[in-house]
Structure 1
């Protein structure tokens, strides 16, 4: 993905987090998330001296892809002990409206059509087993299952740097990094709308669902990530069903409409000429919210008329006038407020374009308002230098979001208890997976012994006396004995993860059986994964 080039000089901006709720990190203390610079200091930090990402980068370096095969073979021999101490980790690394300005987010944005490609590239990294990409106007987050925590995170960070064109050191200043339970909780909060710029907004849940839909068509969305996102969807649905967090909640689109109306004198708000560029999901929501506010007419610029016709059929209470993209500038010349919400990766409005537009009436404030809710942006930052125009992007919607903080905080606290329940269920499920290799190994171990002893028995009996009936009876006898002997141990390796005591006991039993029968399941699994990565690199 090429780095975004606006053609305008951009102003550096570091936004402050406005999430009005408490977040639980890897410790047990709930704490408010106030400023971006301090938002993650008690978790896995990307700022400050010797952050986790800096430590990751300072680990022994893995050479280039050309020598990855020999490195992995050497790693298998010399660094096995380190791998044995590591369990595959679920991690999320990314940035959002709370940690990075839109100028940074748009460079890392991955269009939905490119999610499969991105997932494939991430899974081809030496230490990444599974991956998913969640890229919206407010966030770009990568979820992975990493075979090695430090190496995996370093590889993902370098991939982000390469695809965006942003140097790693600059990128780290805006990234957040969460691991295992913190990563899981974060996704559940995202799905529930607790991490959104507008608390409780519903569009993010649909976007999380889309990650599953797109990922299931490729090879990256493995068992862990698939279950993680599906459980996140469940958590998001429960929060919206069992709390009133969604009541009165607004989306980015409705917040943009609210902001536009705040900037227009009250007496003229409904008389202002509205233009919406783009008839996708965001554009449709803008029109819907304009209609809800009492607006009677809106002009819509889009590449095709079919989408506009569909919106017109659905929203009959507002007059919708279609204009093709070729008439965008002439439509803007006749508008007081311009909403842009297209997927264009190039700017639609530059300074020279806006300077040629006629002045708007002083009755609506004397300034033409541009509400740019696209990422990448559709309106160049240089347009802010035009005296007759005022530009707002998604980061500026915080002015609308600041209202009713206390009410949103209370709703978020209610939602957190639901998220905690779903988090426990997911972690119990994932922990219970640890026993599966032991069950298979123990079963295989017993079957090998049974087969060997059967062979000895049949040799002693001799072929002359060994009829099919006797062979079958002896085979059934040995199989029955093995099954009865294994029944108890295998039952103690299975649990539904519904209570922590049973799960803890199950894991203790697993480790005991591994030691007693020298199963070495953990080492075997790691070696198999490394071998698979080596074979993939050779192919």
Structure 2
């Protein structure tokens, strides 16, 4: 039934948007731009009525004639909109909205593709707004990290919703849909929820059990709360995913001994340096965010005594310096990045820059590093989008490693963490059942509202008939109030039992099954589906009438 409400909202929203901006075409079939000013007419689509441009030719019409034609077209469109609603409403009211995840990760796509689809955190609200504006999408959330770009949605229609999100991703990245589909994974309902719970628990990470992803899942909720972009299903799912991630880490110790992306980057760099000179290699870290801080921390743990840090502001570097006392941290402003690289043997990059910081022409002018450390400068880039252009790898005195190259490091202690991952699945299954029970319990909410509305309309109608028979002058204001309270009290007492049998918190599966049976029975007895459909139809007619007026 939630789908039916969204369907009606879509109809009303489309009509309102059409009245506000007649030149806006239906987004699923946008006509080509034209410098001419076309006339506009209604067109009926799956979820509403939209204005579309249509050339009328060179024939001139008087303003009066155009008004008459426009009125006829709008009237015909109104009838068509209602008929379209009647055809599709039954199916949407019976069909439950689907939770879906569409995305790609380090397991399905190379970094070259992931960086094109990456959405910076500052742009998450806008992306969610765009996604929720799609015809069959009710709710949305974006989880974009260095290892994944995943879109979680609640879709009115699984197939149409997936198609719209895929087309949005194609448009945002510039990657053709045919190419994009080769790397995307798509999961539905329970599978989609389980995937998010596994992501939050660190089971889907490149580094099994790593903890940073849990913080990133939390950030999705924080951003959604500030922007107001998360709907109740997505919000609850992400919060339950956070609970799952915490339980897995505290009850299985999957993170003990596990390496993070940052520590794996340090391990990789040390693997590539000649063993005798690892301690003397000059280290440069560009970016002092969370990843940069972890890189410095792991360098210190490996015995590094000095590191140069390039960052846009000094405050973050000073905070890291206060926390990490065992390593000398030298701050340099961003303007000195290339001169600092000239004096470094290993360059770690981890900034949010959407364009490369190092290209081949930058590296060509850098002096060659000492043969003691291998004669080549190492660039370890753990950013997505990448901070080091792929062209740098062709330089004879440079080696470039990105997040996809970390697999060499993480395979070392993967077997032990896989055993712990099996334990984590038990917790994930428990939390998944709890979430699905909660979502099932939501099905009764529309029935509760419809039953209450149905009873209130009958009460109001019968009360009005009674007052008409008695006569307005026969009753005092106090008597009228007493009769109104009497009728309200009778309705409340009659509804108390049925409504109690429709309320369930979703924690008890037996009670939930009984509640859903009661819901279906009441829907049949009082014909609440038809009742709801009639109400929505009246609202659509009224809205279309206003847009024509």
Which of the residues 431, 434, 450 maps onto 2:459?
Answer: 450
Match of 2:345 in 1: 336
Instruction: Check the 8 A contact 2:252/2:424 in 1, yes or no.
Output: yes
**How far apart, CA to CA, are the structure 2 residues paired with 1:84 and 1:150?**
17
Corresponding position: 1:79 with 2:88:
yes
User: In angstroms, what is the RMSD of aligned CA positions?
Assistant: 2.6
Instruction: Check the 8 A contact 1:119/1:132 in 2, yes or no.
Output: yes
Pick closer, same or farther for the CA change 1:243–1:433 going to 2, 3 Å: same
Which of the residues 422, 441, 444 maps onto 1:435?
Answer: 444
After superposition, where does 1:26-65 map in structure 2 within 5 Å? Answer: 62-64=28-30
Corresponding position: 1:392 with 2:380:
no
Match of 2:248 in 1: 239
Match of 2:61 in 1: none
The structure with the larger Rg is 2
Which of the residues 113, 125, 145 maps onto 1:136?
Answer: 145
1:175-228 residue CA offsets vs partner (Å, 9 max, x unmatched): 111111111111111111111111111111111111111112224211111111
Shift of 1:70: 2.4
Corresponding position: 1:360 with 2:369:
yes
Instruction: Check the 8 A contact 1:340/1:370 in 2, yes or no.
Output: yes
**How far apart, CA to CA, are the structure 2 residues paired with 1:218 and 1:281?**
23
After superposition, where does 1:117-266 map in structure 2 within 5 Å? Answer: 117-266=126-275
Instruction: Check the 8 A contact 1:198/1:249 in 2, yes or no.
Output: yes
Pick closer, same or farther for the CA change 1:226–1:531 going to 2, 3 Å: farther
Match of 1:4 in 2: none
**How far apart, CA to CA, are the structure 2 residues paired with 1:463 and 1:443?**
28
Instruction: Check the 8 A contact 1:441/1:521 in 2, yes or no.
Output: no
**How far apart, CA to CA, are the structure 1 residues paired with 2:166 and 2:42?**
18
**How far apart, CA to CA, are the structure 2 residues paired with 1:94 and 1:500?**
32
Shift of 1:465: 5.4
Deviates more, 1:353-362 or 1:252-261: 353-362
Corresponding position: 1:100 with 2:105:
no
Shift of 1:170: 0.4
Corresponding position: 1:414 with 2:380:
no
Deviates more, 1:479-488 or 1:180-189: 479-488
Pick closer, same or farther for the CA change 1:395–1:527 going to 2, 3 Å: farther
**How far apart, CA to CA, are the structure 2 residues paired with 1:338 and 1:519?**
66
1:359-392 residue CA offsets vs partner (Å, 9 max, x unmatched): 2233323322110001111111122112222111
**How far apart, CA to CA, are the structure 1 residues paired with 2:42 and 2:388?**
43
Larger relative helix fraction: 2
Shift of 1:108: 0.5
Structure 2 spans left out of the alignment, 5+ residues: 1-26, 32-39, 50-80
1:17-56 residue CA offsets vs partner (Å, 9 max, x unmatched): xxxxxxxxxxxxxxxxxxxxxxxxxxxxxxxxxxxxxxxx
**How far apart, CA to CA, are the structure 2 residues paired with 1:525 and 1:92?**
34
Pick closer, same or farther for the CA change 1:77–1:483 going to 2, 3 Å: closer
Instruction: Check the 8 A contact 1:83/1:526 in 2, yes or no.
Output: no
Pick closer, same or farther for the CA change 1:124–1:464 going to 2, 3 Å: closer
1:458-507 residue CA offsets vs partner (Å, 9 max, x unmatched): 44555565345544444444333322221221111111111222112211
Which of the residues 39, 44, 55 maps onto 1:70?
Answer: 44
Q: Report the TM-score when normalising by structure 1.
A: 0.83
Pick closer, same or farther for the CA change 1:505–1:323 going to 2, 3 Å: same
Shift of 1:157: 0.7
**How far apart, CA to CA, are the structure 2 residues paired with 1:415 and 1:293?**
30
Q: Would you say how many aligned residue pairs link Structure 1 and Structure 2?
A: 475
1:428-450 residue CA offsets vs partner (Å, 9 max, x unmatched): 11111111110011111112222
Instruction: Check the 8 A contact 2:258/2:417 in 1, yes or no.
Output: no
Which of the residues 91, 96, 121 maps onto 1:112?
Answer: 121
**How far apart, CA to CA, are the structure 2 residues paired with 1:213 and 1:487?**
38
Structure 1 spans left out of the alignment, 5+ residues: 1-60
Shift of 1:148: 1.8
Which of the residues 384, 389, 408 maps onto 1:380?
Answer: 389
Instruction: Check the 8 A contact 1:76/1:527 in 2, yes or no.
Output: no
**How far apart, CA to CA, are the structure 2 residues paired with 1:292 and 1:63?**
57
After superposition, where does 1:456-471 map in structure 2 within 5 Å? Answer: 456-462=465-471, 466-468=475-477, 470-471=479-480
**How far apart, CA to CA, are the structure 2 residues paired with 1:123 and 1:397?**
35
**How far apart, CA to CA, are the structure 2 residues paired with 1:475 and 1:299?**
78
**How far apart, CA to CA, are the structure 1 residues paired with 2:170 and 2:86?**
31
1:240-270 residue CA offsets vs partner (Å, 9 max, x unmatched): 1222011112211111011111112332222
Shift of 1:78: 3.5
Pick closer, same or farther for the CA change 1:324–1:62 going to 2, 3 Å: closer
